[in-house]
Structure 1
Amino acid sequence: MQIFTAALMIALSVVVVVTRRPGKDTSILWASVLISISLIFNVDSVYVVVDQLLYGRNYADLGANVLLLVGVYFLARAIHRAARPLPVLGHSKSPRVLGKSGVMVAASAAAAFFSLIDAPITSTAFMMQYGAQPAAALYSAVQYVYIGAVMAAAGWTCLRFRKSWSTGNYKTAFALVGMGCLSAVLLVVDVLALDTMHVLGELQAMAKLSGLYGALNAATFTLLCTGLALPPARRKILSIYEASRINSMLAELDPVWKLAIAGNAGVTLDFAVVPERPHRRRRELHRMIVEIQDSLVRDPGSRKRIGRDGLDKLARATRYLERQSWRSR
C-alpha cells in the first residue's frame, strides 16, 4: 500500500510537470511533489534510512506528516481554484488566509503532541507501536481533523460548481475528485476511530477498522490522482495529436503551395507573422492556405497546375482549421 500510493502521487507529479503551462497556478505542482515526498518517506526501507539520519527517534514520521499537511493544503487550494469556472467575488483572499492559518496550527499542534510521545526506537509502524499513548492519539487526530476539514471543503466546491462545467472531460474529472474528497473524509473518520479504539485498548474493533482503512486509503489516492491528472493528460494527448495532424497537412500541402505560387513573384510563405510558439504550426498552415487561395484568385492558371488532387488537399486542410477554430471558441 505504501508503494502503491507513493507511485500514484509520483505519476501525478510527472503528469503535472510534463503538462504544466507557463504562468499557470502552481498549487497542484506543490501538492503533488510534497505529498509524493511524504509518501516516499513512509515506505519502510526509506523511512528507516531517513530516521537513522535523524537520530532514530521517529522524527522522520513527524517530517513526513508535516509535508503531508502542507501538501494537502496546496491540494485543496488547487481543487478550489480549478473547480470554480470564474473567480467568486469576495472569496479570493479569505479561504487562502484561513488555509494557511489552519495548516500552521495543525503542524504546530502535531509537533507539540509529538514531543510528548515516548518513541525512542525507530518504528515503521509508528501508530501501531506507540498509538496507545494519548499523546500519540492526539498527534494523529490533529492532523486528520485538518485533512478532513480541508478535503470536505474541497469536495463541497466540486459539488457546488458541478453544473458549471459543460465538457464531459471536466465533469468526469471533478466527479472523481469529489468522490476522492468524500473517500478522504471517510478515511479521516476511520483513523479517528482507530486512534480512539487504540487508546481504549479495543484491539478487536481496531482489527476490523484497519481493513477499512486500507480500502479507503487506496480509493482516496486513486480517485484524486485520476481526477486531477485527467484534464492535463487529455489536453497533452490532444495537443500531440493535433501537432502530428498539422505537420502531416503541412507536408501534404507544401507541394500544392509551390505549384500555386509558381510564376507569382512576390508571393512568399512568411512565417515571421506567427510569433506565438504554442500555435505556430497551426498558423503556418493557415498562412499557407491563405497564400494558395490568393494565388487561385490572382492567377487562373494556378488551378490547372494544382489539379483536382491539390484542391482536395486544400479543402481538407481548410475544413480542419475551421473545426479547430470552432472548438477553441
Structure 2
Amino acid sequence: MIIAVVQAVLLLVGTIVLLVLQRGQDRTLAFTFLLFAATIVTNVDPLYRWLDPRLGGFNVVTVISDCLMVAGTSTLLWGVAKAVGAARPWLRNAVLVSFVVVIVVVLVAFTVLDKPATTTTFMLDAGSHPAATVYSIAQTVYLGVALGATGFICVLRLREARTTTDLVGLWVLILGGVLGVVRMVVVVVMDVAHVVGDLQVTHALSLPYDVTTPGAVLCVASGMLLLVFGHRISRRGRARRVDAALQRLAPLHERLGVDNAYPPTDDPATLLSRRIVEINDGVRGARASLTESERAVLADAEAALETA
C-alpha cells in the first residue's frame, strides 16, 4: 500500500505541476497524469474496501480503475508522441481504435466472469476463470505495447534532444518502456499459469511483477516531467537568445534599417525577423557595406532566429 500511495502522490503532484507549467498549452500529458493518479488512488486498499461495497460489492471499482488505466495509456502514447514531435494522424487513429477495442473487451470480459465479493486481490481470487484471463491480458498487452512504443519513439528522438534534461527524460522514458514490456510478459505468463492451475509459476513471478509495475509507473511519470521541464528550459534559452540578438542588432538597425511599415507585434522572434529584413533591405538600398563586427552581429541574429 505504501508504494501505491507514493505513486499516487507523485502522479498528483505531477498533474498539478504540468497544469501550471502548461497553462495555455496542450495538456495531454497533464491529463495522462490525472488518469493514472485516479487509477492508483482507487486501488489504495482502505479506499477500495470503503468504496466498492457502496457500488455493489462485486469489484466494480476494479473495472473502473482499469478503464482509467487504459485511457491513461492512450493519452500517454499520444502525449509523448506530441512532446517529441512524432505525432502523426495514423498514430492518433491507431491509438483511438485500439483504445475502443480494449475497453470493449475489458467490459465484456468483466461482465461475463464470475465476480468475487469485494477484494483487493481481484486477479488472485478470480484468475482461475478464462474470462478473467482475457480481462487481464487485454489491458496488460495494451499497456505493454503502448509503453514499448513510447520507449521506441524516445529512442528515435535521442539525437534531437536539445538539453541534458531532455536527454535524461528520454532515457528514463525508455527505461519505463522496457519495464512496461517486461511487466507485460510477466503478467501474461502469470495469468495463463493461473487459469491452467499452475499457481507455483504465479507465485514465482510475483516479485518481478512487484518490481516492474511501480518501476514502470515511476519511470514514465519522471520521464514525462523531465521532458516538460526540458522543453521549458529550452524555450527560455531561445527567448533569451532572441532578446539578446534584438539588443545587439538595435544600433545596426538604427543606422541602416528601413521602415517596412509592418503591423505591430509583441512577439520577439517576429520582431527580430522583421529587423533582419529591414537591415538587409537598407544595405541593398543604400549600397552600403557592413563592417566585420556588424556582419557577425547580423549572423548571430539570424542564428538566434533559427533556434526560435
The answer to whether the superposition gives a TM-score over 0.5 is: yes
| Residue matched to 1:19 | 21
Whether the 8 Å contact between 2:154 and 2:170 is mirrored in structure 1 is: yes
Correspondence for 2:40: 39
C-alpha RMSD of matched pairs (Å): 2.6
Which residue in 2 is equivalent to 1:175? 171
Moved more, 202-211 or 62-71: 202-211
Q: Paired residue for 1:112, among 77, 92, 108?
A: 108
Distance 1:77 1:51 in 2: 31
Q: Deviations over 1:294-319 (max 9, x none)?
A: xxxxxxxxxxxxxxxxxxxxxxxxxx
Query: What is the CA–CA distance in structure 1 between the aligned matches of 2:305 and 2:71, rounded to whole Å?
Result: 41
In 2, distance between residues paired with 1:235 and 1:179?
20
Q: Distance in 2 between matches of 1:64 and 1:231?
A: 26
Alpha-carbon distance change, 239 to 152 in structure 1, aligned in 2, over 3 angstroms: closer
* Matched-pair contact (CA < 8 Å) for 2:166–2:231: no
The answer (yes or no) to whether the contact 2:163–2:230 under 8 Å persists in 1 is no
Question: Equivalent residue for 2:122?
Answer: 126
Matched, 1:48 2:52: no
Aligned residues: 246
| Equivalent in the alignment of 1:61 | 62
Distance 2:81 2:234 in 1: 25
* 1:205 Cα offset (Å): 1.6
SS in 2 for 1:121: coil
Deviating 4+ runs (over 4 angstroms):
233-240, 273-276, 325-329
1:100 to 80, 96, 99: 96
| SS at 2:205 equivalent | helix
Q: Distance in 2 between matches of 1:173 and 1:217?
A: 19
The CA deviation at 1:328 is 7.0
| Alignment CA distance shift 1:239-1:167 (3 Å) | closer
What CA deviation, in whole Å up to 9, does each residue of 1:115-157 have, x standing for no partner? 1211141111101111111111110001111112222221111
Deviation, 1:237, is 8.6
Does structure 2 retain, via aligned residues, the 8 Å contact 1:114–1:135?
yes
Q: 1:76·1:154 contact (CA, 8 Å) conserved in 2?
A: yes
Question: How many angstroms apart in 2 are the aligned matches of 1:95 and 1:140?
Answer: 24
Cα distance in 2 for residues equivalent to 1:38 and 1:192: 20
* Aligned equivalent of 1:142, options 116, 138, 141: 138
Instruction: Give the drift of 1:41.
Output: 0.6
**Separation in 1, partners of 2:110, 2:50:** 20
Deviation at 1:51, TM superposition (A): 1.2
CA distance in 1, matches of 2:64, 2:210: 22
Q: Secondary structure at the match of 1:71?
A: helix
1-structure distance, mates of 2:125, 2:116: 11
Q: Could you tell me which residue of structure 1 aligns to residue 155 of structure 2?
A: 159
Per-residue deviation at 1:61?
Answer: 0.4
Relative to the length of structure 2, the TM-score reads: 0.73
Find the structure with the greater CA-based Rg.
1
Contact 2:170–2:227 (8 Å) recurs in 1: no
Percent identity for Structure 1 against Structure 2: 24
**1:205 & 1:236 partners in 2: Cα distance?**
46
Q: Which residue of 1 aligns with 2:7?
A: 5
Q: Is the 8 A contact 2:39 2:68 kept in 1?
A: yes
Gaps of 5+ in 1: 241-272, 279-321
Question: How far off its partner does 1:327 sit?
Answer: 12
1:188 counterpart residue number:
184
CA distance in 1, matches of 2:171, 2:130: 38
**Structure 1 residues 188-247: Cα deviation after superposition (integer angstroms, max 9, x where no partner):** 11111110111122222212200110111121112111111124346779999xxxxxxx
Q: 1:57 aligns to what SS in structure 2? A: coil
SS in 1 for 2:14: helix
Deviation track 1:84-115 (CA, whole Å, cap 9, x = no partner) reads 2xx6xxx7211111111101100110000101
| Partner SS for 2:31 | helix
Maintained 8 Å contact 1:9/1:225: yes
The residue number in structure 2 matching 1:269 is none
